[in-house]
């Protein structure tokens, strides 16, 4: 742990945290920042600074990856407060409130994991694979190729920044290409977005997850929307205030999606989260019991450097102080009962999350399901205690936010500790690194949320905030009971049917909720990955797939950063000044053609830095 590693780690935590916040608010998913953070650290420390320090790179990766996890927990829940403020139900959350909620959730996630390290990381080595932790260790061990790999990440950032600025900054071409039918023919819609980060999500997630999401989008936009329009054109159906035919005539398929189908998608998402949690219950119970047994003797620091954790007395005292802060700090709208719920559910889900990511990886960790379960329980308790108004809704989302962040950070911490265990790092220094990453990210996430909301507004076309909208609906459904339950129950039944036929329900449900154009762009990235995966097994194939992952990770970061830059320009009224969309009017050239050409260039850039990339000869 050096000045260099701490500063680099903080920068990466803020960068990847902001980029993943922007991505998660757009598509409802985030991606792990551990591997790109490790590669960048390795490239800078080994190649630029000419230092051979694998543990220094490990510290950078540990601090840097905390930003992505904290952002994921925050953007899944906290935007609900802004949505309520926009509806006039309460005041907008203060910057201090957001920062403290994120900070307390992140710190609790780290501290809950400290006494579990020996039980999960050391004693079950060889039993719990921790896939991302192993992958990061392999990347860092392949240090002699770090310069080339780091350049791939930076190239992805540069290309995506350029393409994003053309699409949403200069607005030379639309960011979406769509085809839509009419009521007399077929009132469905299909198309694709052309954003590099969205395509990159599909490549990183792979063809299976991408196809599940696209299938959900096809069901919504090519089945449900046409059925609603064809059979109900003359009806006024709650929560709509006009006839379905009038809504379609004014806003097309998007209007039907906003008025009706998004509630079906929300029901599917909520059911998907609960189903995922129920399916994991046997593993959760076994995990929690095993972890509690393993706690015996876990807090004792060994004599070896590689056995030293943060002092257990300090950990317990910190947890007590943080719990009292949840209750007593005026900026956090949580009572004593809420603080107790935070501690009980927090430790339980931190334990579950830490072990589950060891078995199935961070991508399959049901964090949103844990958050929904917490919200259901906390909201019911608050309502029974008579706190059913705006203050109760605010308290429920604060509790859910802290638990969501605890689960995400605990999972990230366990993956990083596994990487350190394989490399011979000092656990205590890694745990301190996680705390530093949480501090930096918590200070940045509030400003990021405020900036994005000021520029476009959560729940808008630019920032759908699907997970936060779902959490908002769950709380409103219990507190006020004014939701269109018929539509929500249709979504629940869809999730049940999908689960019965053996399809992973959460990615499908996210696809039902999100616009099909976004899902189609993800699907294109998945198809590119499928083409790579179908290549004959060879060293070239493995390099192509890995380079593609690094390039796509860079593209996600690059687009996210330009998205933040454009948000700043929009807030200060500069966005319209750089808009030159009216200048591109060539004979026979339409903006849709321009969009498809640009999307082709984005795909070519990915191919150039993956399958067509020439590796430098080692000297």
Q: Is the peptide bond before 120 cis (omega within 30 degrees of 0)?
A: no
421 is a domain residue: yes
Is residue 130 assigned to a domain?
A: yes
- Cα-Cα-Cα-Cα dihedral sign, residues 241, 269, 478, 223: positive
SS (H, E, C) 138-171: HHHHCHHHHHHHHHHHHHHHHHHHHHHHHHHHHC
Please give the average per-residue pLDDT across 574-585, as a whole number: 68
Residue 192: strand pairing partners: 177
Please indicate, yes or no, if residue 438 is contained in any of the structural domains.
yes
Q: Is the pLDDT of residue 601 over 60?
A: yes
pLDDT of residue 215: 96
The reported pLDDT for the residue numbered 46 is 73
Highest mean pLDDT among 43-57, 126-140, 429-443, 541-555: 429-443
Could you give the number of structural domains in the chain? 1
In a domain, 251, yes or no: no
Structural domain contains residue 200? no
pLDDT at 617 (0 to 100): 44
For 145-177, write each residue's pLDDT tens digit. Answer: 545 577 888 899 899 999 999 998 888 888 889
Closest CA to 107 of 395, 491, 431: 431
CA–CA gap between residue 344 and residue 378 (Å, rounded): 12
Per-residue confidence (pLDDT) for residue 619, from 0 to 100: 39
Tokens at 490, concatenated: 């249709």
Domain that holds residue 107: 3-180+261-608
Q: How many CB atoms lie within 10 A of CB 461?
A: 13
Residue 294 lies in a domain: yes
48 within 8 A of 7, measured Cβ to Cβ: no
465: in domain:
yes
What confidence category does residue 366 fall into, taking pLDDT thresholds of 50, 70 and 90?
Answer: low
Task: Identify whether the C-beta of residue 212 lies closer than 8 Å to the C-beta of residue 507.
Answer: yes
Residue 336 and residue 248: Cα distance in Å, rounded?
A: 48
Number of other CB atoms surrounding residue 86 within 10 Å:
13
- Work out whether the CA dihedral 201, 353, 15, 151 comes out positive or negative: negative
Angle at 146 between CA 18 and CA 19, to 5 degrees: 10
Q: What is the pTM of this model?
A: 0.81
Please give the share of the chain, as a percent, with pLDDT higher than 70: 90
Residue 22 lies in a domain: yes
Whether the predicted pLDDT of 295 surpasses 70: no
CA–CA separation, 36 and 540 (whole Å): 20
């Amino acid at each position: 742990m050096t000045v260099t590693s701490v500063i680099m780690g903080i920068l990466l935590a803020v960068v990847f945290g902001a980029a993943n916040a922007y991505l998660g608010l757009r598509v409802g998913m985030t991606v792990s920042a551990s591997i790109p953070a490790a590669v960048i650290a390795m490239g800078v420390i080994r190649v630029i600074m000419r230092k051979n320090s694998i543990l220094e790179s490990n510290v950078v990766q540990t601090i840097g990856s905390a930003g992505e996890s904290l952002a994921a927990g925050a953007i899944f829940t906290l935007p609900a407060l802004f949505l309520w403020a926009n509806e006039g139900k309460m005041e907008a959350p203060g910057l201090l409130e957001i920062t403290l909620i994120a900070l307390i959730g992140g710190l609790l996630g780290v501290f809950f994991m400290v006494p579990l390290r020996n039980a999960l990381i050391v004693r079950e080595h060889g039993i719990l694979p921790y896939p991302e932790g192993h992958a990061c260790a392999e990347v860092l061990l392949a240090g002699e190729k770090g310069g080339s790999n780091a350049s791939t990440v930076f190239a992805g950032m540069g290309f995506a920044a350029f393409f994003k600025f053309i699409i949403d900054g200069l607005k030379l071409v639309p960011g979406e290409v769509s085809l839509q039918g009419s009521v007399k023919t077929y009132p469905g819609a299909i198309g694709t977005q052309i954003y590099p980060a969205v395509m990159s999500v599909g490549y990183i997630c792979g063809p299976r997850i991408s196809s599940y999401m696209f299938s959900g989008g096809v069901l919504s936009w090519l089945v449900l929307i046409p059925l609603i329009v064809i059979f109900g054109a003359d009806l006024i159906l709650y929560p709509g205030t006009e006839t379905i035919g009038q809504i379609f005539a004014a806003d097309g398929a998007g209007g039907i999606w906003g008025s009706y189908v998004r509630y079906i998608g929300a029901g599917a998402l909520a059911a998907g989260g609960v189903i995922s949690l129920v399916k994991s219950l046997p593993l959760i119970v076994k995990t929690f019991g095993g972890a509690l047994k393993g706690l015996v003797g876990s807090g004792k620091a060994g004599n070896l450097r590689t056995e030293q954790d943060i002092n257990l007395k300090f950990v317990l005292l910190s947890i007590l102080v943080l719990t009292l802060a949840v209750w007593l700090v005026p900026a956090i709208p949580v009572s004593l009962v809420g603080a107790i719920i935070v501690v009980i559910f927090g430790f339980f889900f931190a334990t579950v999350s830490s072990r589950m990511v060891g078995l199935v990886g961070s991508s399959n960790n049901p964090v949103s399901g844990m958050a929904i379960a917490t919200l259901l329980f906390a909201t019911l308790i608050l309502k029974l205690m008579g706190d059913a108004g705006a203050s109760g809704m605010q308290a429920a989302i604060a509790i859910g936010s802290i638990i969501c962040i605890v689960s995400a950070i605990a999972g990230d911490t366990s993956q990083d500790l596994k990487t350190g265990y394989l490399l011979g790092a000092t656990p205590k220094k890694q745990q301190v690194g996680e705390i530093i990453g949480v501090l930096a990210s918590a200070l940045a996430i509030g400003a990021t949320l405020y900036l994005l909301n000021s520029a476009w507004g959560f729940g808008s076309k630019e920032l759908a905030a699907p997970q936060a909208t779902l959490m908002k609906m769950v709380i409103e459904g219990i507190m006020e009971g004014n939701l269109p339950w018929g539509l929500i129950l249709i979504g629940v039944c869809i999730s049940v049917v999908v689960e019965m036929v053996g399809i992973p329900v959460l990615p499908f449900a996210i696809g039902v909720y999100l616009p099909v154009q976004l899902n189609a762009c993800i699907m294109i990235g998945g198809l590119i990955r499928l083409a790579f995966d179908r290549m004959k097994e060879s060293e070239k194939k493995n390099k192509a797939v890995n380079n593609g992952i690094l390039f796509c990770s860079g593209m996600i970061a690059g687009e996210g950063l330009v998205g933040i830059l454009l948000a700043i320009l929009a807030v200060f009224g500069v966005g319209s000044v750089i808009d030159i969309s009216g200048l591109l009017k060539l004979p026979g050239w339409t903006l849709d053609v321009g969009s498809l050409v640009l999307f082709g260039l984005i795909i070519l850039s990915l191919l150039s830095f993956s399958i067509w990339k020439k590796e430098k000869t080692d000297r």
